[in-house]
Chains A and B, each alone.
Chain A
Amino acid sequence: MPQLNPEFFVTQLFWLVVTFSFLLVFLWRISLPRIGNVLEKRERKISEDLTTAKELQNEAEKIQETIESQLKQARTGASEMIKTSSLALHDKAQIELTKLDKELDAKIEQSSATIEKSKNESVSQIQNQINEITKLTLSKVAAFDVSDDEIKSAVKSSERSIN
């Protein structure tokens, strides 16, 4: 077996030491730091991007919150406005109504006064006519004149007895 031939042991060991130590130093000093740098750079970039993404997400959430709170505020404002305006309208209507009531009352009073007056007038007219009719009747039937005052008092006394 050629492997057990010690003739070439020394040269194999020599070249092994030469090549392997060159490889070790080359990889240690040049290749591995390069690859390590690339990997590290990538990792850093990824983690940076992740933190940026997280920050942006937080910001977006904050904006979302503001939007929601503003919406809420707007909604409550609107409902309050509706409430106040409906109350104001109600009050206004009430005021108008009372005003109208008063006016109507005044008109009713006025008209009732007018009615009363015309009633009194017609009553006194009726009285006069009764007096006149009575005077006429007496003059025609009994052929004697009676003064107006007498007739008036007589009618009044008969009225009183009737009543």
Chain B
Amino acid sequence: MAAKDSPLKQFEIVPFSKTELGGYDISFTNSSLSMIITVAVITLFLTLTVKPRSLVPSRMQLVSELMYNFIANLLSDTVGDNGKKYFPFVFSLFMFVLIGNMVGMVPYQFTFTSHIIVTFALAAIVFIGTTILGFANHGIKFFSFFYIPGVPFYMHPLLIPIEVISYLSRPISLSVRLFANMLAGHTLLKVFAGFVVAMPFFTGVFPLVFIVALTGLEILIAFLQAYVFAILTCLYINDAYHLH
């Protein structure tokens, strides 16, 4: 199989034009394009469907309201009343990841959530934000987050480093989870697509059927990963308010 047919070729970034700002390369690429498509889809959908603002919603308005309520309930269930302030952020994050994943499911579209740098940046925003929030709420007492009450004292030298490491690995696990899921799913689809072409006669139908089934699974994963990203963000916000 030639290098240009590699299943990983879909993740290559193609700049449309060369642009620099202060010595940094900020070229408009296929990744940027799919981010803009994602944002356009979200904003247009949420604006146009709710335009009539009818008391008895149309189907599409109902979809927007359901998404609103979904995240609002998620936030109030995990964080409580404190969570209302972060609703726009969590909602934006959820929609950005969800629609980014979904846009990536469209053939020939680039999936920006399959790039570790993008998911890590999103996770870093969450991590840094919740850490600042924790210190703002509790001051220096926020360090007691690493101290588990009710544990024998001689266990603390072992447990505190573990807690610190698990806290610091939050952005990594959060970003790698999304990135790896997207990477694996899309690679798998491309591998089976390669089989369709490579297999002789009509036997290529079998991998094709498999691709159809996998596409359904990928759509589920696209939703699931966005949900996981949102709910973990909510949990981290909750941790910044309640120390154990």
Contacts and interface: CB of A to CB of B under 8 A. Distances in A.
Interface in B202-222: none
Contact of B117 (A1, A13, A38): A13
Given A23-B92, A38-B57, A10 B68 contact: no
Given A23-B43, A32-B87, A12 B50 contact: no
Contact of A31 (B25, B36, B47): B47
Give the interface SS of chain B, mostly helix, strand, loop or mixed. Answer: helix
Interface in B98-128: 112, 114-118, 121-122
Interface string B152-176: 0000000000000000000000000
A3 B179 contact: yes
Interface in B176-213: 179, 183
B11 A3 contact: yes
A102 interface: no
Contact of A34 (B8, B39, B53, B121): B53
Contacts of B35: 15-16, 19-20
Nearest to B67: A35
Interface string B32-66: 10011011001100110010011101000100110
Interface string B121-157: 1100000000000000000000000000000000000
Contacts of B122: 16, 20
A76 B225 CA distance: 76
A12 B89 CA distance: 20
Contact of A32 (B32, B53, B68, B117): B68
B91 interface: yes
A38 B69 CA distance: 12
A34 B48 CA distance: 11
A4 interface: yes
B47 A11 contact: no
Contact of A3 (B38, B116, B121): B116
A158 interface: no
A45 B115 CA distance: 46
B29 interface: yes
Given A11-B24, A15-B29, A38-B61, 6 more contacts: A1-B8, A1-B11, A8-B13, A12-B115, A24-B89, A34-B53
Interface of B: 8, 11-13, 15, 21, 24-29, 31-32, 35-36, 38-39, 42-43, 46-47, 50, 53-55, 57, 61, 64-65, 68-69, 87-89, 91-92, 95-96, 112, 114-118, 121-122, 179, 183
